[in-house]
Structure 1
Amino acid sequence: MQKRRLATEKQVLALAIAALFAGDAAWAQEAAATDSNNVVVVTGTRVANRTALDTAAPVDIIGADSLKNAGSTELNQALSVALPSLNFPRPALTDGTDTIRPATLRGMAPDQSLVLVNSKRRHASSLVNLNGSIGRGSAAVDLNTIPTAIVKNIEVLRDGAAAQYGSDAIAGVVNIRLRTDRTGGEGTITYGARITEYDLKNDNPPAGGTWAGPSSRKRTDGQTGTVSAWKGLAWGDTGYVVLAAEYKDQAHTERSGYDMRQQYAKVNGAYDPRELTINRFNAWYGDPEMKQSTLFVNAGNTYGDVKVYGWASYQNRDARSAGYFRPPQDSRNIQSIYPNGFLPIIAPQVVDYSALAGATWTSGAWDIDASLGYGRNEMTFDIQNTLNASIGPSSKTDFDAGGFAYDQTVFNLTGVRTADVAGLASPLNIAIGTEARREGYQLHAGEPDSYRYGGVVLPNGTPAAPGSQVFPGFRPANATNAHRSALGAFVDLEANLTKELLASVAVRGEHYTDFGNNLSGKLSARYDFSKAFALRGSVQNGFRAPSPQQQNFTSTSTNFINGVPFEITTFKPTDPVAVALGAKPLKAEKSVNGSIGAVLRFDPVSITIDAYRITVKDRIILSENLTQANVRNYITSQGFIGVGGGRFFINGADTRNQGLDVVLNAPYNGGTAGHFDFTLAGNVNNTKVTRVMTTAQLAALNPAPSLFDRVNVLTLERGQPKNKITASMNWKLGAWASTVRATRYGEVLSPGTTPAFDILLSPKTVVDAEVRYTASKQLTFALGADNLFDTYPETLPPSLNTTGNTPFANFGPFGHSGRFVYARANYAF
């Protein structure tokens, strides 16, 4: 079977290369349009001049104005309010995930959607999300490394496309298309702040108890200033160079609760007077502090029959977020260093850069496209305002905890041509291509004091906690430098079989040096009964290769259990301890996607309705922390002394996602009342974990530990809105314009370890509004508010917020920072 599959992939690759050099990829044409439905799309089809409503799969187009006319300058946030099927939760107290927050499409994992820039694969971030939030275990592309100023539009294919684009395209594809202007430009200054009030009192205090703290709290924080600009320049007679730059300065938001814990030890049996004066709003719980600088350039020119193109980007992001507050008498504190306790700060620095160069030309009947691109994301951790309690009073308070990096090199060669075939109602569009990719993942250790045990024993005889508090550093034993390569080839055919029936088929073979081979196929069709009504659908199998981050991430911390030190580790799947517990080398996730939809056009109104079903087999998950006593004893019996267990990545679950997307667009010319554009869009999604595997080794233990417990199962099934509806209106009359948008987020479950600790987050509607005034041809002012009515999710009960630090669940789909009021000035030049 394996030999037959490899032979098939070699045949596909040979066919692709032979066809390419027999003749050449149409880099899909771009065209101006008056509305998004008539914009020529290049995502999901390799046929030139295909518009959004003419495709065999649903494609959303988000223009530059839609991205600009919002308070947030984050690309992920702008997409989440434009697309009901895309969600962007904003968890806090989640280490590096506070800084690089992933987005999801159709309820799938963040790494199950492919991100392209100008139809070329974008590199992922180096961060693996490890905490109990949406996207746990994934390493996704950080869309916020791309400034909105450089974006011409974004095409989102809501359909699986692994046969067309390769790994990761299970849920869909996000294709960011860059500006190609030869003239013009714009500078933008945006400044805003969170002006908000939130409730602290929970309606369900402990039985027989009362709420002792304040009932609400007013805040003005999260001040954010963004300065951005883009400029188009002519390069010779036909070329262009677009330069874009952005600087963002964001203060943190603080939505902590009132900490009612005893902070100081009693003095002669009486409470310390400082209990009455200490600040009990002692945590940062919200958005991180951030300073971010981004540069981006996109260029292209034509020399005879050859068009050259390329782009490059660089971003530096310095962020600061916090862990849980350590009270003065906490055993992890040293009061001679922090007499009033301390709030440890996690300060990641992210450096992200990329470059790509390519050329298109015509050879015979073929249009050829060749490109070579490189991208790298680095993340290092500085842990501030903390200590290593095991070292004692001489401990440092600032530690280099190490970090990691991911890099990707991609070569693409694609050929597109048309051929007249007897019996077809249109020329047959033929696309053949190959992609070679090399990926690398590196992890480096922190300084010794960030992870070592210094020998201090507490007065009660318990060893003090080792390592820098809140984030112990990576150890030399964790250091990794791993690489892999992948080679793929595809054939993509599309044509009208009859005047009414459009059909396409794609086949793609891939070979990975670390896990083997994959063959994917896709069949899609569309039947136009009339200009007003069409049906479309697709069926395909797809895959997602295990990421180098999932295969190679590892970290270790020392925990003392009954005074005995044990090493608790996130193991590589190939580590001998993980293998002893039943881990195996990771293999690709396999998916089967089916969709059926309708397109209705009642000029100028359009409606699209698309139902989908996505099943994933052998989904890669991060296991539970396996540190139970019987697990430790079993590990010891296998010859591993001092190992206290841990967790590892494993192909551990099967899932099924099914749902419905509906989009209605309706422009309206109101004459003297102005021009209106109405959009109503919705997504209904249901996720089910259909199988959770175990290992023979763990199943033999009594009691058998869970490999993937109810919290993580319910996070997949109910941790994202079961439905989401967006209604928006754009209005323009003379110098005035406005945008009003209401987004209703459906029910979400914040799961607990038992049903008694589950919290149901009820549906909430968030309203955004903006008013714009064009003072001159060049100058426009805007004033607006995101979350105008200051909506928050439910407040957690004290039983789930015992420290007072976290009054809201991290599963709130629109975050918990409240109203953001902003002003913006745009100057066109």
Structure 2
Amino acid sequence: MMQKHASVTEKTVLALAIASLFTGAHAQETASEPGAASTVVITGTRVANRTALDTAAPVDIVSSETLKNAGTTEMTQALSIALPSLNFPRPAITDGTDTIRPATLRGMAPDQTLVLVNSKRRHTSSLVNVNGSIGRGSAAVDMNTIPTAIVKSVEVLRDGAAAQYGSDAISGVVNLRLRTDRSGGEASVTYGARKTEYELWNDAAPAGATWTAPAKRKRTDGQTGTISLWQGMPLGGDGFLTLAAEYRKQERTERSGYDMRQQYPRLANGAFDPRELTINRFNAWYGEPELEQVTLFANAGINLSGGAKLYGWMSGQNRFARSGGFFRPAQDVRNIQSIYPDGFLPIIAPTVNDFAATGGVTWTAGSWDMDASLGYGKNRMAYDIENTLNRSIGPTSKTEFYAGGYAYDQLVANLTGVRTVDVAAFSSPLNIAVGAEARREGYELFAGEPDSWRAGPVILPSGVPAAPGAQVFPGFRPSNEVDAHRSAIGAFVDLEANITPQLLASVAVRGEHYTDFGNSLAGKLSGRYDFSKSFALRGAIQNGFRAPSPQQQNFTATATNFINGVPFEITTFRPTDRVAVALGAKPLEAEESVNASIGAVLRFAPFSITIDAYRIDIDDRIVLSENLTQTNVFNYIVSQGITGVGGGRFFINGVDTRTEGVDVVVSWPMKTAQAGNFDFTLAANVTDTKVTRTPTTAQLAALNPAPTLFGRLNVLSLEKGQPENKLSANVNWKLGQWGATLRATRYGKVLSPGTTEALDFWMGAKTVVDLEARFALTPKATLALGADNLFDQYPGTQPPALNTTGNTPFANYAPFGRGGRFIYARMNYGF
């Protein structure tokens, strides 16, 4: 282990040395627009009019044109193909995570990236990921609640920034800047579908069976249509009101394997039921969910007398989704054949309602530029479970259930002042920013209807009572209900100045107090030295924190298992629950990080190369424990005077990690007299994460054998569950009425870990090519035709030992999903 850490450190040191020898610093512009490199940025600095080339930390700028030409209308997916350091895996059969999928930055957890809208904190989703996917245990911002039409640009700070912005900004900051148009607009219609073929690898049929699986399967599905519109309008004499609306409807994709299992009981003579030869054995929904959503967004600003300005924005989205669980064959003990004679596929159908509103005012008070704002956001997710049953009720069971859900809301008040002070010893005025923030967060968990969770009287033929609750997703019980709140207040000081004409330095300090776990203090020191206009070095050292989320502190869910015919509750316990405390749980504390980075740039206009290396050490990461249902755990719980509980899991601090990596970006805009204008971009991210400590408790350590709180599978998920490298090559071309984008993204190998080494599944590196061609029919109307994943690439197919049902031929850790080729057309009309 120590040798591995040493080799990783040596790689990082080598990368830093190369960076310091050959490159200098600027923020990388990923858009294909003339003059984009001089774009003023507001993320990572509070100095007015600082351009992308002037910052002390790497900032990627993704323009509205880049988002529009991405071939996808999902904000998070568009960012993932524009930025190698950002990943967006697309898991399936993971309950609510099929509907709200989190993104990651620099290989970290989804909740370790702070998301801002116009530099104000965006609320997270109410969903906490508790299934086997990247981001297990996290609750993150759903960026797909923001339509691409309302976004002017996205600034991604690839650097820790907890001292500047507060909790969550460990791996970086994503800041979505909204349009501020007083006139003009654009309507867009996009329609596409998956046209694909994939290989099958299935287990053998039962002895004596005659059905066989095909070697390949062709599919045309996933039809997706998006209608979007934005319009700028004047507000008062010189104000603006920019409106955006989007409607998106997506049909499901289905990438299941061929289910070789025996579906029906054998006949009296021992023969197979004839229906075995006619039933559809592609019986799973494994892929993208059905989805329909409507989004509205408004952004406004108006000038007042005396130089003051009012601003505000509001958003709302309703999302309806349907995704599948695992198929229950007709003879499955969980099935009731009088209800489903051919078996059944349970459907999870969440409804997500998202709302946010922020308003504020800026004004001048003496030498200070002041900004005060108040923002509110809420995300609510409620579940309907369809095409299922409560086995314990018997043949009278309903087939649809309301299972309850959860909600998260956030109220944030900010007050910030910025001014400059002349300092004789400095080459520039000292920029001083001070501010305070007060935040109130709430988390609610509400129960489903009684039939979704209650136990009926049915006893199975084995003599064991049937498990209660709706199959695939038992409803939340009244005992699970939560309505909790917490508050936090914080203050910061941020100083930045050119000490000499070549040396830029900044320092930031932020303190916060939370009513539920205490205090946090973060500091950051960063700088940049310009050796010449073409060469500079930059770097930063800082500590950061991430407060435990209300979702992690309060989520709870219960299922009932029968042990020797006696019902026992298996629960995800709150860390403060008496059972969790008996097992050694403690109130959650903040994750703490130390970030170090060094970067450089070599720039000979218009050609540039940037390299940024980083190391992020995190202590006491919050994770969801393993399911603790071992016999000795059960006996220990009983010995503590607790009855009726068979075991469970809980959130706990205690995982330490070290992440090291390098980002490289090469940019070359090129203009030609005859062939048109080209923008070439090569970008790469290499990341390596090691788990250096896992949690233990004295109570569990005393048991023999001691249960593992955070096991091999979850450790390897953090270390190897995301691409070890990601490289992209992109060219945008324009000549007269014609335009095109060609993009190739190479995803490095990824591990889908198992509980033992024999069950590990490595997916080799894959390159996905996207191509779009555009033609301006008129000065206002443009037609685009394109294909994402042009060559129909898939991750490796899992062997039968890892796909025993046939439902999951591809691992959920596949970094680009398992959708296959997507062919689309888009019409844009500007006005």
TM-score normalised by structure 2 residue count? 0.95
Matched residue SS, 1:55: coil
What per-residue deviation string (whole Å, max 9, x for no partner) do you get for residues 676-697 of structure 1? 0000000000000000021001
Superposed, 1:70-81 pairs within 5 Å as 70-81=70-81
**CA shift in 2, pair 1:202/1:499, >3 Å:** farther
What is the aligned counterpart of 2:396 among 394, 397, 406? Answer: 394
Paired position in structure 2 for 1:702 = 704
Does the CA-based 8 Å contact 1:726-1:742 persist in structure 2?
Answer: yes
Q: Given that residues 407 and 439 in structure 1 are in contact (C-alpha distance below 8 angstroms), is that contact kept between their aligned partners in structure 2? A: yes
User: Which one-letter code corresponds to 1:697 in the other structure?
Assistant: Q
Q: How far apart, CA to CA, are the structure 1 residues paired with 2:119 and 2:272? A: 65
Which has the higher mean CA deviation after the structures are superposed, 363-372 or 556-565?
556-565
CA gap of 1:41–1:211, structure 2 versus 1, over 3 A, is: farther
**Partner SS state of residue 673, structure 1:** coil
Q: CA deviation at 1:169?
A: 0.1
Amino acid at match of 1:682: A
Q: Whole-Å Cα distance in 2 between the matches of residues 707 and 48 of structure 1? A: 49
Classify the secondary structure of the residue corresponding to 1:784: strand
**Residue of structure 1 equivalent to 2:229:** 229
**What residue in structure 2 maps to residue 438 of structure 1?**
440
Aligned partners of 2:101 and 2:419: how far apart in 1? 40
Partner of 1:194 in structure 2? 194
Partner in structure 1 of residue 21 of structure 2 = none
Tell me, yes or no, if structure 1 residue 801 matches structure 2 residue 803. yes
How far does the alpha carbon of each residue in 1:243-296 deviate from its partner, in whole angstroms, 9 at most, with x for none?
000000000000000000000001111110100100000000000000000000
Corresponding residue of 1:271 = 272
Alpha-carbon distance, 1:203 to partner: 11
Structure 2: how far apart are the matches of 1:679 and 1:204?
47
Q: Against the structure 1 CA distance between its residues 210 and 810, is the aligned structure 2 distance closer, same or farther, given a 3 Å change threshold?
A: farther
Kept in 2: contact 1:53–1:599 (CA 8 A): no
**What residue is the counterpart of 1:248 in the other structure?**
248
- Mean Cα deviation higher: 486-495 or 210-219: 210-219
What displacement does 1:210 show?
13
The residue that corresponds to 2:545 in the other structure is 543
> In the alignment, does 2:35 pair up with 1:35?
yes
Mapping of 1:104-119 within 5 angstroms?
Answer: 104-119=104-119
Q: Hey, what does 2:172 align to over in structure 1? A: 172
Tell me the equivalent position of 1:622.
624
How many Å apart are 1:652 and its aligned residue?
Answer: 2.2
Show the 5 A alignment for 1:222-621.
222-268=222-268, 269-304=270-305, 305-621=307-623
What displacement does 1:358 show?
0.3
1:689 alignment partner in structure 2: 691
CA distance in 1, matches of 2:205, 2:745: 31
Conserved in 1, the CA contact under 8 Å of 2:205 and 2:212?
A: no
User: Which of 633, 642, 657 lines up with 1:655 in the alignment?
Assistant: 657
Q: Within 1, Cα distance between the matches of 2:261 and 2:558?
A: 31
Say whether the 8 Å CA contact 1:201–1:211 is kept in structure 2: no
Q: CA deviation at 1:563?
A: 1.7
Write out per-residue CA displacement over residues 501-532 of structure 1, whole angstroms, 9 at most, x where no aligned residue: 00000000100000000111000000000000
Distance 1:283 1:364, change over 3 A: same
Secondary structure of the 1:53 match is coil
SS in 2 for 1:569: strand
Aligned to 1:68: 68
Choose which of 743, 746, 756 in structure 1 pairs with 2:745: 743
Q: State the AA in 1 paired with 2:412.
A: V
Question: Residue 712 of structure 1 aligns to a residue in which SS?
Answer: helix
Amino acid at match of 1:181: D
For 2:139 and 2:214, the matched residues in 1 are separated by 40
> Are the aligned partners of 2:203 and 2:800 in contact in 1 as well (CA < 8 Å)?
no
Report the alpha carbon displacement of residue 297 of structure 1 after superposing the two structures with TM: 0.2
Deviation at 1:777, TM superposition (A): 1.1
Tell me the number of residue pairs that the alignment of Structure 1 and Structure 2 aligns: 797
Q: Which amino acid in 2 is paired with 1:691?
A: R
Shift of 1:664: 1.1
| Aligned residue type for 2:453 | Y
Question: Within 2, Cα distance between the matches of 1:786 and 1:670?
Answer: 28
Q: State the Cα distance separating 1:465 from its structure 2 match.
A: 1.8
Match of 1:733?
A: 735
Output the amino acid matched with 2:465. Answer: P
Tell me the amino acid that sits aligned with residue 36 of structure 1.
A
Question: Contact 1:505–1:524 (CA<8 Å) still a contact in 2?
Answer: yes
Say whether the 8 Å CA contact 1:293–1:316 is kept in structure 2.
yes
Contact 1:36–1:62 (Cα < 8 Å) also in 2 = no
SS state at 1:727 partner: strand
User: Residue 79 of structure 2: SS of its match in structure 1?
Assistant: helix
Q: State the alpha-carbon separation in 2 of the partners of residues 205 and 114 from structure 1.
A: 49
- Alignment RMSD: 1.5
Aligned residue for 2:9? none
Q: Distance in 1 between matches of 2:689 and 2:298?
A: 40
AA at the equivalent of 2:352: V
Cα-to-partner distance string for 1:593-649 (whole Å, 9 max, x where unaligned): 000000221101121100000000000000000001110010011011110110000
Q: In structure 1, how many angstroms separate the alpha carbons of the residues matched to 2:150 and 2:440?
A: 27
Stretches of structure 2 lacking an aligned partner (at least 5 in a row): 1-31
Whole-angstrom distance in 2 between the partners of 1:489 and 1:211? 68
Q: State the alpha-carbon separation in 1 of the partners of residues 592 and 137 from structure 2.
A: 17
Give the percent of matched residue pairs that are identical in Structure 1 and Structure 2.
73
SS in 2 for 1:54: coil
In the TM superposition, residue 810 of structure 1 has moved relative to its aligned partner by 0.4
Distance in 2 between residues matched to 1:210 and 1:92, nearest whole Å: 30
Distance 2:329 2:198 in 1: 24
Change in 2 beyond 3 A, CA 1:497/1:468: same
Which residue number in structure 2 is paired with residue 213 of structure 1? 213
Does the 8 Å CA contact 2:203/2:260 hold for their aligned counterparts? no
C-alpha displacement of 1:205? 12
Contact 1:205–1:798 (CA<8 Å) still a contact in 2? no
Go from structure 1 to structure 2 and tell me whether the alpha carbon gap of 1:728 and 1:642 turns closer, same or farther (over 3 Å shift).
same
Answer with 346-355 or 599-608: which moved more.
599-608
The residue aligned with 2:26 is none
Q: For the residues of structure 2 that align with 1:49 and 1:366, how far apart are their CA atoms?
A: 16
Write out per-residue CA displacement over residues 430-457 of structure 1, whole angstroms, 9 at most, x where no aligned residue. Answer: 0000000000000000011101110100
The one-letter code matched in structure 2 to 1:505 is V
TM-score by length of 1: 0.95
Distance 1:817 1:256 in 2: 11
Shift of 1:743: 0.2
- Does structure 2 retain, via aligned residues, the 8 Å contact 1:205–1:797? no
Deviation at 1:462, TM superposition (A): 1.8
Q: 1:725 to 1:211 in 2, by over 3 A?
A: farther
Letter of the 1:188 counterpart: S
Confirm or deny: 8 A CA contact 1:772 1:780 kept in the other structure.
yes
Aligned AA for 2:475?
A: G
Distance 1:203 1:640, change over 3 A: closer
Deviation readout 1:394-442 (Å, 9 max, x if unpaired): 0000000000000000000000001101100000000000000000000
**Shift in Å at residue 562 of structure 1?**
2.4
How is 1:134-153 mapped onto 2 (pairs within 5 angstroms)?
134-153=134-153
Q: Is the 8 A contact 1:204 1:797 kept in 2?
A: no
Q: Distance in 2 between matches of 1:645 and 1:104?
A: 31
Task: Give distance in 1, aligned partners of 2:293 and 2:692.
Answer: 42
Q: Aligned partner of 2:358: which letter?
A: L
CA distance 1:33–1:201, change in 2 (3 Å): closer
Give the deviation of 1:33 after TM superposition. Answer: 8.0
SS at match of 2:354: strand
Partner of 1:20: none
2:376 is paired with a residue of what secondary structure? strand
Question: C-alpha distance in 1, partners of 2:70/2:170?
Answer: 29
Residues of 2 paired with 1:808 and 1:550: CA distance? 29
The residue type equivalent to 2:173 in the other structure is V
Alpha-carbon offset, residue 202 of structure 1 = 6.5
